[in-house]
Amino acid sequence: MSTDIPRLADADFAADRRQLDVRSAVSDYWARVRAGELGAIPAILALAFLVVLFTGLRPETFLSKGNVANLFTQALPVTILAMGLVFVLLLGEIDLSAGVASGVCGAVMAKLIVDSGQPWYVAVIAAIAVGVVIGTAIGWLVSVIRIPSFVVTLALFLGLQGITLKLIGKGGTVPVRDDVIVALANKNMPIWLGWTLAVVVSLGYAGSQLWRWDRQRRRGLHGKPVQLVAARVLVVAVILLFGTFVLSLDRAPSPLVTLAGIPWGVPLVAVLLIIATFVLDRTAYGRHLYAVGGNAEAARRAGINVTRIRMSVFMIASGLAAVSGIVAASRLNSVATDSGAGNTLLYAVGAAVIGGTSLFGGRGRARDAILGGLVIAIIDNGLGLLGVDAYANFLITGGVLLLAAGIDALSRRRRSATGR
């Protein structure tokens, strides 16, 4: 590489050649924020604001150990659903049927366990397969027939509710009692396992970040200053370890029993997050997704199969919707005719957008679903503690989604005004 340095020196990649110091990295970051690249900022501000707000309004209950654990399980289904929607939103498309698809898949799973006596894994695989089939149908109609995704999924939003109704029967619910499924949202990991995982993940994250920093430095590539890398690693580790600590406290209402540990659904979401982030950031498929979302014509000319990419995101979204439906069934111990209907989808889209995924395509990350999912869960949870009437709940949730979409639209305008 050293032979390249004199040649590189005459080109003016100033920011690439010198190792960035913290000050210029921070000012670069600030310039990007001012240009409309808000990233995770709105979600973090919203989290802080909501925690302060609800702690103020309900000091004894909101931050109680039991409620904090409850928040996490409450966030699970919406987060998983939102993670699938991030893929769809990255292309600037929408899937309005993801919520009810999760209901159908949950119903399929419940029926297989209860009526056919199938083991849980068969039921889970079947549910996910149904999700992927639904996604394939949507994807085909959108990418091959070229019906706008808005229309296709609006039609499926109605149609799939009919299927859930047919599967479950009028007004009925199917109870879910399988131990493994119920454990997902209702049982906790052993304390030692929680700590072990938290430490391993923290160390793994630190290792991968520092290794990358070192590699970039040695090869003279563009990178962040080591202080910022370290700060980032530290923040992630502190959040993981503190979260583990809180969830490892005994939160049983009675001193006679112990109830402690990380709910099993949390590592499930963590695994999904790691896989989705890997796919989006590190694979050619992920790169092509962003390209199609940013400029489909450019992607097509670059030889990317836009049709296939468009089809795939709906398959991913509906597949993850199935997982979300399974977790939701676990949390409620049942599947009902209105599972996944109502405000489920609104919550999930809201979560993705609040987390920082753009409705206009091309921008979004898997972690957006986590941040936004937590925001949504806190809103839902807090309003529940306040005993807000149903009408106000609808108004507030709708307002939050509009607010998030408004921030998205304004920062996009800002980007196109400052770009060029």
Token pair for residue 330?
């676990």
Q: Looking at beta carbons only, is 16 or 338 nearer to other proteins?
A: 16
Cα torsion through 355, 95, 358, 345, rounded to 10 = -30
Cα torsion through 391, 392, 395, 396, rounded to 10 = -150
Query: Per CB under 8 A, which of residues 343..382 are in contact with other proteins?
Result: 362-363
Tokens 């793994």: give the residue: 204
Asked whether position 170 contacts other proteins by CB under 8 A, the answer is no
Nearest to 59 by CA among 71, 67, 69: 67
Asked whether position 1 contacts other proteins by CB under 8 A, the answer is yes
Q: How far is the CB of 367 from other proteins (least distance, A)?
A: 17
Q: How far is the CB of 296 from other proteins (least distance, A)?
A: 9
Query: Per CB under 8 A, which of residues 201..220 are in contact with other proteins?
Result: 215-216, 219
| From 57, 203, 221, 395, residue interacting with other proteins (rule: CB under 8 A) | 221
Euclidean distance between CA atoms 21 and 23, whole angstroms: 6
Asked whether position 275 contacts other proteins by CB under 8 A, the answer is no
Q: How far is the CB of 299 from other proteins (least distance, A)?
A: 7
Q: How far is the CB of 226 from other proteins (least distance, A)?
A: 17
Query: Per CB under 8 A, which of residues 6..45 are in contact with other proteins?
Result: 7-8, 10-16, 35
Asked whether position 415 contacts other proteins by CB under 8 A, the answer is yes
| From 69, 81, 299, 354, residue interacting with other proteins (rule: CB under 8 A) | 299
**Region from 129-137, 187-195, 294-302, 388-396 binding other proteins, contact rule CB under 8 A:** 294-302
Asked whether position 409 contacts other proteins by CB under 8 A, the answer is no
| From 87, 213, 264, 290, residue interacting with other proteins (rule: CB under 8 A) | 290
Q: Looking at beta carbons only, is 35 or 383 nearer to other proteins?
A: 35
Q: Looking at beta carbons only, is 35 or 147 nearer to other proteins?
A: 35
| From 287, 385, 388, 407, residue interacting with other proteins (rule: CB under 8 A) | 287
Size of the site for other proteins (CB under 8 A): 41
Q: How far is the CB of 333 from other proteins (least distance, A)?
A: 39
Q: Looking at beta carbons only, is 33 or 197 nearer to other proteins?
A: 33
Three-class HEC string of the chain: CHHHHHHHHCCCCHHHHCCCCHHHHHHHHHHHHHCCCCCCHHHHHHHHHHHHHHHHHCCCCCCCHHHHHHHHHHHHHHHHHHHHHHHHHHCCCCCCCHHHHHHHHHHHHHHHHHCCCCCHHHHHHHHHHHHHHHHHHHHHHHHHCCCCHHHHHHHHHHHHHHHHHHHHCCCCEEECCCHHHHHHHHCECCHHHHHHHHHHHHHHHHHHHHHHHHHHHHCCCCCCCHHHHHHHHHHHHHHHHHHHHHHHCCCCCCCCCCCCCCECHHHHHHHHHHHHHHHHHHCHHHHHHHHHHHCHHHHHHCCCCHHHHHHHHHHHHHHHHHHHHHHHHHHHCEEECCCCCCCHHHHHHHHHHHHCCCCCCCCCCCHHHHHHHHHHHHHHHHHHHHCCCHHHHHHHHHHHHHHHHHHHHHHHHHHHHHCC
Asked whether position 256 contacts other proteins by CB under 8 A, the answer is no
Q: Looking at beta carbons only, is 108 or 291 nearer to other proteins?
A: 291
Q: How far is the CB of 280 from other proteins (least distance, A)?
A: 11
| From 91, 165, 276, 291, residue interacting with other proteins (rule: CB under 8 A) | 291
Asked whether position 222 contacts other proteins by CB under 8 A, the answer is yes
Q: Looking at beta carbons only, is 150 or 285 nearer to other proteins?
A: 285
Q: How far is the CB of 39 from other proteins (least distance, A)?
A: 13
User: What radius of gyration do the chain's Cα atoms show?
Assistant: 23
Residue type, 161: Q
**Region from 4-12, 76-84, 160-168, 180-188 binding other proteins, contact rule CB under 8 A:** 4-12
Q: Which residues bind other proteins (CB under 8 A)?
A: 1, 4, 7-8, 10-16, 35, 215-216, 219, 221-222, 282-284, 287-288, 290-291, 293-295, 297-299, 301-304, 362-363, 415-416, 418-420
